[in-house]
Structure 1
Amino acid sequence: MPISVRRASVAATLTALVLTTAPAAHAAGDHATHRGGLTPRTHFRMLPDGSSGARSDGEGIPNVDSVKATIARYYGDRGNGIANKRHSPYITQMSRIEKKWLTWLKAHKPKAGQKKALVFDTDDTTLMTYDMEVHAMHFNFDTVLQNTYVQEQRFPATPGMVRLVNHAQRWGYTIFGVTGRNDDQKAATLANLAKVGYRGFTADRFFTKWTGTGSSQQPSYIQCATSKCSTVEFKALTRRHIQNDLGYPVVANFGDQWSDLQGGYARRYVKLPNPTYYLPSTNLPGVVQPKLAPRNRFTMKPGGASGAKPDGEGIPNIDSVKATVKAYYGDTGTGTANTSASPYLTQLQRIEKRETAYLQRACAVGVRRHTKPALVLDTDDTTLWTYDLEVGLMKFVFDPALQDQWVQGQKFAAVPGMVSLANAAQQAGCTVIGITGRSASQKAASLANLAKVGYTGFTAANYYTKPAGFKGSTVAYKSSRRHHVQRQGYTIVDNIGDQFSDLKGGFSKRTVKLPNPTYYLP
C-alpha cells in the first residue's frame, strides 16, 4: 500500500522551488505518492517587451512549448503548422469581430457625396500568414522566405475580412491599405488580395514602405525623428496624409498589431487577434493611448487546452515570451546565456544553497543509519545546460539530429552550481544516480560529458537512459527507474529535475524543480 506523503510547499515566489517531503521512515520499496503540487503554474504576469524576465522567477514565465501548443489549439492546427481554415477558436473570434463591425459600418455608412475611409493593415489583417509563420518558419521570421510567399501570392485571406471589406466598399466606404511590406512587394500583394476575393484595394490607395532604392524613397508627408522611421511613424503619418491631404476622414483603422493602430489619425481602432508574433513601436511624441497596449496578465494551462477559448489576446504572444526567456537567462540577443550573472543564476543559486545544506545532512544521516542514501538527478538542464543549443542554434525548435551531435561531441556545459551540489552530496555519503530521457546510444557520451565538466559521482551502473522502443510516458519511465533504485536497497533522499515529469510518480522523499521555461516535456 502506498504510504501517505506530507507535502511541504516552499512557496517563495522568487525560488520557484517545488518541494515535496515524505515521512522520514521510508523503507526500501515503499511507494511515496505525491498528491498534487507537481504541476506548472497557470497564471502569469508578463510585460510585452521582455522586461519581466528580470525577475528571478523562471516558473513565472510562460513556457515556450506550452505557448506554442496553446497557439496551435487556437488556430485549429493539428500539429503540422497549418491552420484550420473552416473551424477554430480563432475563426470563432474573427467571426464575432466581423459581425460587430459589419453592423456598425452599415449603420454609419457614408451619405451621398460623403467621404469616409477605412484603413487596413495586410499581414494577419487581410492576408493570413499562420501557415508561413508556423509551418514554414517555425516562429522564426525569415525575410527571404517571406518574400517568396509574397511574390508567389501564397497567402489565404484572413477569415471574414473579405466579406467585411467588400461590404464596406459597397456601402460607400473608400478602402485604403497601409502595410509594412515594401514597395517591391506592392504589386504582388495587390494581386494576392484580388486573388482571394478583395475588391476594394487599388494601387493609388495602397501604401507600402519605401526601400530607399531608385524611385522608392520616403515621401515628403512623412517626417521621422531619426533616419529610420518607426512602424507607428510610417503608419500614423500615412493616415494623417489620407485625412489631411487626400481629404478622407479615417473612421476605422484595422490591424493585428498595436503598432498598426497607435499614433492617432483614426476615429476608431479595431485590434485583430494575433499571438504568433509581436511588432512593437514607440508611439508618436506626445501621443498617449493606454488602451492600445497588450495585456500583461494571462491564464494558460500547460498542455495547450487554453487555446480552445476564442480569445487570442489572452494567449501570451510568442515573441514576447521569447524575449522574456532571453532576459531571464541574461541573453543579449546572441542566443548565449550569461554565465556570470542573470536572474536565472540568481534563482538557481538560492535553490542550490538550500538543497546542498539539506543533502549534506540527509546523506550523512542515511550513512549513519545504513539506509544507502541516494540523490537522483536528471541530465538536460539539471546537470548539463542546454540553453545555448536550444536557443542559440535551434531557435526554440528541437532538432534531434543537432541535439545528438552535441551529445556525442560532449559540448554541454554544466548547469551552474550543480557540480558542487552533486559532489557535495557524494562526499556526504549519497550515491549519485542519473535518470535521463536521453537514449542508450547517448549514454557513454553523456557520462563522459558529465565527467568532463567536473561531476565525480556518476557511474555507468547508476546512470539510466531510456530503453529503445519505450512507448510509455516520461513519468512512467522515470518513476519505474526510481522504483528499481529503491528495490536495490537505496533510499532516494532527493530527486532533482527541470521538468515536472522528472519528479512525478513518487519513490523519492523529496522533489526539487529547477526552473526551465525554454521547453516543456509532459
Structure 2
Amino acid sequence: MRKSLRVAGLATACTVAGAALYATGVASADQAGPRPTKEPHNIGLLVGEIDEYYGASQDADGVWTSSPDSPYAKDLARIQAKAKKDIKKAARKAHHGHGGQGAHGKKPAIVLDVDDTALLSFDYEKSTNFTYNKDSWDAYVKAAKRPAVFGMPELVKYAKSRGVEVFFLTGLAESQREGAVTNLARAGYETSLDRTHVFTKNKANPPAYLSHCATPDAWKCDTVQFKEGTRKHIESTGYDIVGSFGDQVSDLAGGYADKTYKLPNPTYFVG
C-alpha cells in the first residue's frame, strides 16, 4: 500500500484537509518580495475531526473501530448506492448485447483496491498515530484481522449477482498475498480470490505485462503505472472494467475503466 512518496502521518492529512487560518508574508529564494502563505490545519484539531468522521471508539481489546452510523459510513453508502445503479445498468447492457458480454464482446468486471477500499486499516492508523512503519505494517497485514470497509462485501455480492466479475488490485507486496487473501475471505468477500483475481505487486518477479516496471537494480513503476498496467492486462483477458474502486486518486488514474469511484480516506496519502 505505502511507498516512499507517502508523507508520514498527519502531515499529509493536513495538506489534504487544508484549512487556512490566516495569511502572512514570506520571501523566498526565487521571489524577493513577500507572498501569501497559509498556516496548515492544527494537528490536534485534525485528529479530533478524523475521530469524529469515523466515529472512532475502542473495543474491549483496545482495537480502534469505526461506527456504522458515522459520517464516514454514510459517505460510503452514498458512493456505493451510485455504484450499484451503474453496475446494474452496465450489466443489463452487457447481457442484452453480445450473448452476455459488454463493450466489444467483453464480459463486465469491477476492480477493487484492498487497503481502505476492501479492508479497513483504521486501527493501524490510530494505533501508530497515523505513522507508517514497514515492519509493523507487514505484521498487521499478515495478521489478517482487518474488518471489511462498510458495505463493500455487499457491493461485491451485488456485482456477482448481476454477472459482473470481481478483481482485487493492491499495492501490497507478493509476500503479503496470503495475509490479504485470508483477510478478504474472513471479512466476507464471497468471490474468487485466486491469483487470476487478486493482483499484488511482485517486484522481484513481475508478470510479463509489467516487465517494463523492473530492472536488475530497481522497480521503476509508480502506483498509477502499476495499476494502469494491471487493469490493461485484465481487459486484455476478455473483460470490460465497468467500475474501478479505490481510496486514493492513484488507485484510479491511468484509464482502463469505464467509471471510477473514490472512497473516502483522510488518514494517509499514496502518490
Task: State TM-score, norm by structure 1.
Answer: 0.41
1:188 counterpart = 2:176? no
1:325-347 deviation per Cα after TM superposition (whole angstroms, max 9, x unaligned): xxxxxxxxxxxxxxxxxxxxxxx
Alignment correspondent of 1:105:
87
- Residue matched to 1:224: 213
Give the alignment partner of residue 210 of structure 1, picking from 188, 193, 202. 202
1:247 to 238, 261, 269: 238
Question: What amino acid is the match of 1:62?
Answer: H
Name the structure 2 match of 1:64. Answer: 43
> Shift in Å at residue 279 of structure 1?
0.4
Equivalent AA in structure 1 for residue 159 of structure 2: A
Aligned-residue offset at 1:56? 7.1
- In structure 2, how many angstroms separate the alpha carbons of the residues matched to 1:162 and 1:42? 34
Larger Rg: 1
In proportion to residue count, which structure has more strand? 2
1:82 aligns with 2:64: yes
Work out whether residues 121 and 260 of structure 1, in 8 Å CA contact, stay in contact via their aligned partners in 2.
yes
1:85 counterpart SS class: coil
Matches of 2:71 and 2:260, distance apart in 1: 22
Deviation readout 1:237-264 (Å, 9 max, x if unpaired): 00011112x1111111100001001111
- SS for the counterpart of 1:65 is helix
Query: Structure 2: how far apart are the matches of 1:94 and 1:232?
Result: 23
Give yes or no for contact 2:90–2:242 (8 Å, CA) kept in 1.
Answer: no
Paired residue secondary structure (2:257): coil
1:267 counterpart residue number: 258
CA–CA distance in structure 1, aligned partners of residues 179 and 125 of structure 2: 19
C-alpha contact 1:126 1:161 (8 A) present in aligned 2: yes
Q: Distance in 2 between matches of 1:151 and 1:85?
A: 24
What SS is found at the alignment partner of 1:251?
strand
Once the two structures are TM-superposed, the CA of residue 179 in structure 1 deviates from its matched residue by 0.1
1:234 to 226, 229, 232: 226
| Distance change >3 Å, CA 225–CA 210, structure 1 → 2 | closer
Deviations 1:435-476 (A, max 9, x none): xxxxxxxxxxxxxxxxxxxxxxxxxxxxxxxxxxxxxxxxxx
1:12-51 map, 5 Å: 43=20
In structure 2, how many angstroms separate the alpha carbons of the residues matched to 1:201 and 1:69?
A: 39
- Name the SS for the 2:190 alignment partner: coil
Provide the rounded CA distance (Å) in 1 between the counterparts of 2:74 and 2:269. 22
Give, in whole Å, the separation in 2 of the partners of 1:230 and 1:119: 18
> Hey, what's the Cα distance between the residues in 2 that align with 1:120 and 1:44?
37
Once residues 163 and 264 of structure 1 are traced to their aligned partners in structure 2, the CA distance between those partners, rounded to angstroms, is 25
Question: 1:42 Cα shift?
Answer: 5.2
CA deviations on 1:107-162 (whole Å, 9 max, x unpaired) are: 2214153101101000000000011111x211001221222222111100001101
**2:115 aligned counterpart, secondary structure:** coil
Query: Take 2:257 and 2:203, find their aligned partners in 1: how far apart are those partners?
Result: 26
Q: Please give the alpha-carbon distance, in whole angstroms, between the structure 2 residues aligned to 1:241 and 1:153.
A: 28
Query: Structure 1: which 5+ runs fail to align?
Result: 1-40, 46-53, 281-522
Look up the equivalent residue of 2:163 and give its one-letter code. Answer: G
Matched, 1:152 2:140: no
Residues 81, 138 of structure 1: CA spacing in aligned structure 2 closer, same or farther, 3 A cutoff? Answer: farther
Q: CA deviation at 1:81?
A: 7.7
Q: In the alignment, residue 129 of structure 1 is paired with which amino acid?
A: S
Q: CA deviation at 1:201?
A: 3.6
Residue pair 2:80, 2:151 contacting (<8 A) in 1 also:
yes
Return the alpha-carbon distance in structure 2 between the equivalents of residues 149 and 85 of structure 1.
21
Distance 1:107 1:58, change over 3 A: same
**Does structure 2 retain, via aligned residues, the 8 Å contact 1:252–1:266?**
yes
The structure-2 alpha-carbon separation of the partners of 1:81 and 1:43, relative to structure 1 and needing over 3 Å to count, comes to farther
Identity, in percent, stands at 36
1:123-522 → structure 2 map (5 Å cutoff): 123-134=115-126, 136-203=127-194, 204-212=196-204, 217-222=205-210, 223-224=212-213, 227-228=218-219, 229-244=221-236, 246-280=237-271
Closer, same or farther: CA 43–83 of 1 in aligned 2, 3 Å: farther
Checking the alignment, whether the CA contact within 8 Å between 1:190 and 1:201 is kept in structure 2 is no
Letter in structure 2 aligned against 1:251:
V
Q: Give the superposition deviation at 1:43.
A: 4.0
Cα separation, 2, equivalents of 1:176 and 1:156: 19
- Separation in 1, partners of 2:164, 2:21: 41
1:132 and 1:266 map into 2 onto residues whose CA distance is: 30
Query: Equivalent residue of 2:124, what SS?
Result: helix
Q: Is the 8 A contact 2:109 2:166 kept in 1?
A: yes
Kept in 1, the 8 Å contact 2:246–2:262? The answer is yes
Q: Distance in 1 between matches of 2:35 and 2:52?
A: 30
Q: Does 1:73 align with 2:64?
A: no
